[in-house]
Amino acid sequence: MANFTPMLSIVFAVYNEAESIEHVIKEFYEEIGKRIPTEILVAEDGSTDGTKEILKRLSKELPIRLNMSNERRGYLGGVKAGLCDVRTPYALFVDSDGQCAAKDFWKFWDNKDEYDLVLGWRVDRQDAFYRKVLSGGFQSIMKVLLGGVPYHDLSCPYMLIKRDVIHTTVSEVKHLKYSCWPEFIARVYKKGFKIMEVPINHRERFAGETQVYKPTKLLKIMASQLLGAFSLRFELGY
């Protein structure tokens, strides 16, 4: 491993995913890591369910670099911690719940030379009805507030990002802490980077339940996201 020089980082932000994280990491490594020099970069967010122990064990078997935290950073904090730690020319960010399929990676990779950011588009989204309604409504609001950012799925947590985009953009993301991707995409678009979308498969969670969009938190999340959306619009001058 001394001469191992990865060209791709697969970045996971992880919180309390003990039931699924080993399966998800191994799926992506088996599909990608055996064909491209790949590092798996995990931003762990103060898990309490045994996730930490699973990750430590896996890091002895696979090319995994762990960014661990004893305190909760939240989704946005975990995403930023992971992406800001990227050292490779490309980063593939994907959520750790198993809803995105590793085999779709090649749709992203085939466009890496022409585009700076390749976004996933969940054409047939397999989420609970309330999640789809909430996400669809918020994305419609974001497109209006941000001058019609021309992409279908602003909240899809599956994308291939060039390192230059990460280094010039990720540290600026601050307004949308529960679903940061619309802000990230809007900032990348505003800077003039080249972006495209590719359709991807979307599955039900491999195990467990969402750690962010729990029904008891929905009103708080909606209020925070709407306030953040207006703040972002003001900052970007739309």
As a whole number of angstroms, the distance between CA 65 and CA 9 comes to 10
In a domain, 32, yes or no: yes
| Cβ partners under 8 Å of residue 165, min gap 6 | 116, 117, 188, 193
Grade residue 204 by pLDDT with cuts at 50, 70 and 90. Answer: confident
Residue 135 belongs to a domain: yes
Q: Which two tokens stand for residue 32?
A: 């990608």
Answer yes or no: is 220 within a domain.
yes
Nearest by Cα to 17 from 92, 102, 78, 91: 78
Instruction: Tell me the C-alpha distance between 202 and 15, whole Å.
Output: 20
pLDDT at 2 over 60: no
109 inside domain: yes
Indicate which CATH number applies to the domain containing 223. Answer: 3.90.550.10
Residues 146 and 194 sit within 8 Å (Cβ to Cβ): no
- pLDDT higher for 143 or 100? 100
pLDDT band at 216 (very low <50, low <70, confident <90, very high): low
Q: What is the pLDDT of residue 208?
A: 56
How many distinct structural domains can be found in the chain?
1
pLDDT digits (tens, 9 = 90+) for 97-141: 999 999 999 999 999 999 999 999 998 776 666 666 776 777 788
In a domain, 79, yes or no: yes
Residue 31 covered by a domain: yes
Q: Is residue 3 part of a domain?
A: no
Range of the domain at 88: 8-236
Task: Report the alpha-carbon angle 202-49-18, nearest 5.
Answer: 35
